[in-house]
Amino acid sequence: MTIQTVGIVGAGQMGNGIAHVFALAGFEVLLNDISQDGLDKGLATIRKNLDRQVSREKITAEERDAALSKISTTLTLTDLGPMDLIIEAATERESVKSAIFEDLLPHLAPHTILASNTSSISITRLASRTDRPEKFMGVHFMNPVPVMQLVELIRGIATDDVTFSALKEVVEKLGKTHASAEDFPAFIVNRILIPMINEAVYALYEGVGNVISIDQSMKLGAAHPMGPLELADFIGLDTCLAIMNVLHDGLADTKYRPCPLLTKYVEAGWLGRKSGRGFYDYRGETPVPTR
């Protein structure tokens, strides 16, 4: 099937980025969120990021304006029902994602493909709670979506070849590259990345190094563009902890035990950049380590 219209659930960090790239590629986009403030902030972010692309001569002003004209918004989740493709980009909690799909089910067109941007949760399990597990896939974009070139495509046990081919074609139209991942906890990128971040938090927790020394060591010693603690703040410490818990619960291996310090930061509400504090304090002009 040819996908032309796309509904996106969630206008946050990932959802607005997904809306951005789809609209820029010429798809009709309907963006949904639970609050008008969320929609307004999402659209403002899209405009800011498109303006940045214009200033860097990545796109023209005409392409920016055309992309913005492709995006509509709604507070009513069920308005997304007739779309060719619906991508859920809500918070990384399985109960929330399942509830979204449950609410959508009575309003879906027969041909609609459902997808989740989950970074770790079982696609097979999410799909099994819908009426179309054969038309359900994981489509995991990387953050920031307009910049990162990879999209993980994850088939559930029931996903059919037509659905996989349709989404592979979509990724190509977005100008991105797909990697096929099996439906195991955290897939490929986060199966490797998040335990590395967790190990960096253990190094901090055990006093092997402080925040600056750990991040500088990985940037200068391993050529990483961001240190692991800086990256954790960028991703969100709550998201990192959620993925570690999925790995620990799903694989029952103690090597995936979340570091107690990571748990403590999340309990404190120090979630990284989005909350103003994490392993760095972002409330001043320059970030300052918190340990």
User: Which residues are within 8 A (CB) of 110 and not within 5 positions of it... i.e. 6 or more apart?
Assistant: none
Cβ-in-10-Å burial (0-12, 13-18, 19+) of 255 comes to exposed
Q: Known catalytic residues?
A: 119, 140, 152, 190
Tokens 């109960």 identify what position?
A: 95
DSSP 8-state assignment for residue 142 = P
| Residue type for position 91 | T
3-state helix, strand, coil in the chain (%, to 5): 50, 15, 35
The β-bridge relationship of strands 288-289 and 28-32 is unpaired
Distance CA 181, CA 195 (A): 18
- From its phi and psi, is residue 93 left (phi > 0), alpha (psi between -120 and 50) or beta? beta
Name the strand (E) or helix (H) holding 150. strand 150-155
Residue 142, CA atoms < 13 Å, CB-side half-sphere: 17
